[in-house]
């Protein structure tokens, strides 16, 4: 297995990525849903970039668009410095970039055995002509994620939630990818199982030198596994930086509210923090506020916030924030 260590080379880069959907409103009327709007970032080789935000903020759409499971409305995706466009580049990209889905209950075909589920990407991409070799690879993958190889002929429903997610991880690893988008991979699991699966992701990253985009609404999960964290709100990136820096010194009022909402064991601090928690619901992505997208919920909003969406500006140490506050 290749020894891929974290370094300063971007493995994945997105530039001004947009994904808009036309939503039918009846009587031949459509409205534009800007799920991902002008998002740029890079992920270094061997890095885990955590992507957080409330549900409906565009995180999953961003993950799918980045992998070209959705065709971008605009913007560029680069892998190993090369733009992913054209059939040949896309074929190469598919071999190196893959996804672990949120729900291990619905993402596995109930009519296939575990061995067939894990072998499917190998079959689709024509990796092995020799059936014995393919079986050997499946056993190796099951072993790698801590599944009993004697259970290869069983069906997915015979496994627990945590084991099913391990099947999903083994399938994602089948083609020996370099980059994995992990879309809320533990949110459907019991809290007691979550830590085991997160540790599994961490271990695999170290052993196989993987690079992750780790999507979650749970800041604690993201902080645990990420080198850097990106915060998304209504399709926009509002803050990005080193994980500890974002968690300990958040700048954007939205990130600060998310962190205040994380349950903390100290009752005095919890009481003091309560007033600063996030107020109201996230607006519909069909009616995004003009100017700063967060202004309808921001306790610091001023008139000028309605004029333009602030650009991400560098606040030092690779910490970027899109807010007029200094
Ligand atoms: Fe709040 Fe204005 Fe900053 Fe937006 S730009 S987060 S509305 S202070």
Confidence of residue 27 (pLDDT cuts 50, 70, 90): confident
**% the chain with pLDDT above 70:** 92
- Please report whether residue 153 resides in a domain: yes
- Please report whether residue 2 resides in a domain: no
Q: What is the 197 CA–ligand 1 centroid distance (Å)?
A: 36
Q: Is pLDDT at 275 greater than 50 in this prediction?
A: no
Q: What is the 253 CA–ligand 1 centroid distance (Å)?
A: 7
Label the pairing between strands 228-233 and 211-215: unpaired
**Choice from 258, 282, 302, 304 to test ligand 1 binding pocket (greatest atom count within 8 A of CB):** 302
Ligand 1 atom at minimal distance to the Cα of residue 300? 8
Q: What is the 183 CA–ligand 1 centroid distance (Å)?
A: 28
Each residue's pLDDT tens digit, 168-208: 999 999 999 999 999 999 888 888 889 999 999 999 999 99
Q: Is pLDDT at 163 greater than 50 in this prediction?
A: yes
How many domains does the chain divide into? 1
Across the chain, mean pLDDT equals 90
Of 12, 175, 199, 206, residue with least CA distance to 94: 175
Q: Is pLDDT at 7 greater than 60 in this prediction?
A: no
Q: What is the 20 CA–ligand 1 centroid distance (Å)?
A: 24
Q: What is the 293 CA–ligand 1 centroid distance (Å)?
A: 8
Q: What is the 250 CA–ligand 1 centroid distance (Å)?
A: 14
pTM of the model: 0.90
**Choice from 257, 278, 307, 324 to test ligand 1 binding pocket (greatest atom count within 8 A of CB):** 324
Each residue's pLDDT tens digit, 254-270: 999 999 887 765 555 55
Question: What is the helix (H) or strand (E) element at residue 201, kind and residue range?
Answer: helix 191-208
Range 282-293 average pLDDT = 92
- Of residues 306 and 105, which shows the higher confidence score? 306
Give the per-residue pLDDT at 187: 86
- Please report whether residue 4 resides in a domain: no
- Please report whether residue 1 resides in a domain: no
- Please report whether residue 5 resides in a domain: no
Range 223-228 average pLDDT = 94
Ligand 1 atom at minimal distance to the Cα of residue 298? 1
Distance separating alpha carbons of residues 202 and 152, to the nearest angstrom: 24
Ligand 1 atom at minimal distance to the Cα of residue 292? 4
Range 147-176 average pLDDT = 92
Neighbouring CB atoms inside 10 A of 84's CB total 20
Range 66-79 average pLDDT = 96
Ligand 1 neighbours (beta carbon < 6 A): 252-253, 292, 294-295, 298, 300-301, 305, 310, 323-325
Each residue's pLDDT tens digit, 38-58: 999 999 999 999 999 998 899
Q: Is pLDDT at 248 greater than 80 in this prediction?
A: yes
- Please report whether residue 281 resides in a domain: yes
- Of residues 277 and 128, which shows the higher confidence score? 128
Q: Is pLDDT at 162 greater than 80 in this prediction?
A: yes
Ligand 1 atom at minimal distance to the Cα of residue 310? 5
Three-state secondary structure along 266-316? CHHHHHHHHHHCCCCCCCCCCCCCCCCCCCCCCCCCCHHHHCCCCCCEECC
Q: Is pLDDT at 2 greater than 80 in this prediction?
A: no
Domain residues for the domain of 206 are: 10-321
Ligand 1 atom at minimal distance to the Cα of residue 252? 6
CATH code for position 80: 3.40.50.300
Q: Name every residue whose Cβ is closer than 8 Å to that of residue 40 and which is 6 or more positions away in sequence.
A: 14, 15, 16, 17, 75, 237
Q: What is the 138 CA–ligand 1 centroid distance (Å)?
A: 51
- Please report whether residue 230 resides in a domain: yes
Q: Is pLDDT at 10 greater than 60 in this prediction?
A: yes
Q: CB–CB of 247/255 below 8 Å?
A: no
Q: What is the 296 CA–ligand 1 centroid distance (Å)?
A: 9
Q: What is the 271 CA–ligand 1 centroid distance (Å)?
A: 25
Give the per-residue pLDDT at 273: 52
- Tokens linked to 22: 């036309």
- Please report whether residue 265 resides in a domain: yes
Ligand 1 atom at minimal distance to the Cα of residue 295? 7
């Amino acid at each position: 297995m290749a020894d891929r260590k974290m370094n300063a080379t971007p493995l994945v880069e997105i530039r001004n990525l947009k994904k808009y959907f036309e939503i039918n409103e009846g009587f031949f009327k459509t409205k534009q849903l800007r799920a991902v709007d002008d998002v740029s970032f890079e992920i270094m080789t061997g890095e885990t970039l955590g992507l957080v935000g409330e549900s409906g903020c565009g995180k999953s759409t961003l993950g799918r668009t980045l992998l070209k499971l959705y065709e971008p409305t605009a913007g560029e995706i680069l892998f190993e410095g090369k733009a992913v466009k054209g059939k040949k580049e896309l074929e190469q990209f598919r071999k190196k970039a893959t996804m672990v889905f949120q729900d291990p209950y619905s993402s596995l075909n109930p009519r296939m055995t575990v061995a067939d589920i894990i072998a499917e990407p190998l079959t689709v991409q024509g990796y092995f002509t020799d059936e014995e070799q393919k079986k050997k690879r499946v056993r190796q993958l099951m072993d790698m994620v801590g599944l009993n190889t004697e259970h290869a002929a069983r069906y997915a429903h015979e496994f627990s939630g945590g084991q099913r997610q391990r099947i999903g991880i083994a399938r994602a690893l089948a083609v020996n990818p370099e980059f994995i988008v992990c879309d809320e991979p533990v949110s459907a699991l019991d809290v007691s199982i979550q830590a085991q699966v997160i540790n599994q992701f961490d271990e695999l990253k170290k052993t196989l030198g993987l690079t992750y985009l780790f999507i979650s609404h749970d800041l604690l999960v993201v902080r645990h596994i990420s080198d850097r964290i990106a915060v998304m709100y209504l399709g926009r990136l509002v803050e990005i930086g080193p994980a500890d820096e974002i968690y300990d010194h958040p700048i954007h009022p939205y990130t600060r509210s998310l962190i205040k909402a994380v349950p903390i064991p100290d009752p005095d601090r919890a009481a003091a923090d309560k007033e600063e928690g996030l107020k109201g619901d996230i607006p519909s992505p069909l009616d995004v506020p003009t100017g700063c997208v967060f202004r309808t919920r921001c306790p610091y909003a001023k008139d000028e916030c309605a004029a333009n969406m602030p650009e991400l500006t560098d606040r030092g140490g690779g910490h970027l924030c899109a807010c007029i506050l200094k």
